[in-house]
Amino acid sequence: MPNKDQHNLISQPARAGRPPVVVIMGHIDHGKSTLLDYVRKSHIVDGEAGGITQHVGAYQAEHVGAEGKKHLITFLDTPGHAAFCSIRERGAHAADVAILVVSAEDGVKPQTIEAYKNIKAEKIPYIVAINKIDKPNADIDRTKQSLGENEIYVEGWGGDIPCVPISALNGTGVSELLDMVMLVAELADLSTDANASACGSIIESELDTRKGISATLLIKDGTLTTGTVVVAGGAYAPVRFIENFKGEKITSGIASMPVRILGWNTIPACGTDFITVKTKKEAEKMVSEFEAEARRSSSKTAINVSAKKTEQVGDDKTPQIVIIPFVIKTDVIGSLEGIKHELAKIKQDKVVIKIVSEGIGEINENDVKIAAGDPNLMLIGFNAAPDKKAATMIERSPTPIQIKNFSIIYELTNFIQELVTSKIPKEYIEEVTGRAKIMAVFSKDKDKQVVGGKVETGTIEIGSDVRIMRRETEIGRGRIRELQQQKKKASEVREGYEFGTLIDAKIEIAPGDRVEAVKTVEKK
Q: With DSSP H G I counted as helix, E B as strand and the rest as coil, what are the percentages for the chain, rounded to 5?
A: 30, 40, 35
Is 261 within 8 Å of 237 (Cβ atoms)? yes
| The CATH fold of domain 199-284 | Elongation Factor Tu (Ef-tu); domain 3 (2.40.30)
CB contact at 8 A, 78 and 91: yes
CATH 2.40.30.10 residue ranges for the chain: 199-284, 428-522
Give ranges for CATH 3.40.50.300 in the chain. 19-189
- Every domain of the chain with CATH number 3.40.50.10050 lies at 322-423
Three state DSSP letters for 84-152? HHHHHHHHHHHCCEEEEEEECCCECCHHHHHHHHHHHHHCCCEEEEEECCCCCCCCHHHHHHHHHHCCC
DSSP at 155: B
> Cβ of 429: how many Cβ atoms within 10 Å?
11
162 φ, ψ (degrees, to nearest 5): -60, 140
Name the CA dihedral angle for 106, 111, 114, 119, rounded to a multiple of 10 degrees. -80
User: Is-contact 54 191, C-beta < 8 A?
Assistant: no
19-189 belongs to CATH 3.40.50.300: yes
**Sign of the CA dihedral 195, 196, 202, 205?**
positive
> What pLDDT is stored for residue 6 in this prediction?
41
Where residue 466 falls (left for φ over 0; alpha for ψ -120 to 50; beta otherwise) is: beta
> In this structure, which topology does domain 428-522 adopt according to CATH?
Elongation Factor Tu (Ef-tu); domain 3 (2.40.30)
Q: Which residues of the chain have pLDDT under 50?
A: 1-12, 42-56, 80-85, 88, 301-318
Alpha carbon of residue 89 to chain centroid: 14
Determine the Cα–Cα distance for residues 405 and 368; give it in Å rounded to an integer: 14
The pLDDT tens digits for 279-324 are: 999 999 999 998 888 777 766 544 444 444 444 444 444 456 888 8
CATH architecture of the domain with residue range 322-423: 3-Layer(aba) Sandwich (3.40)
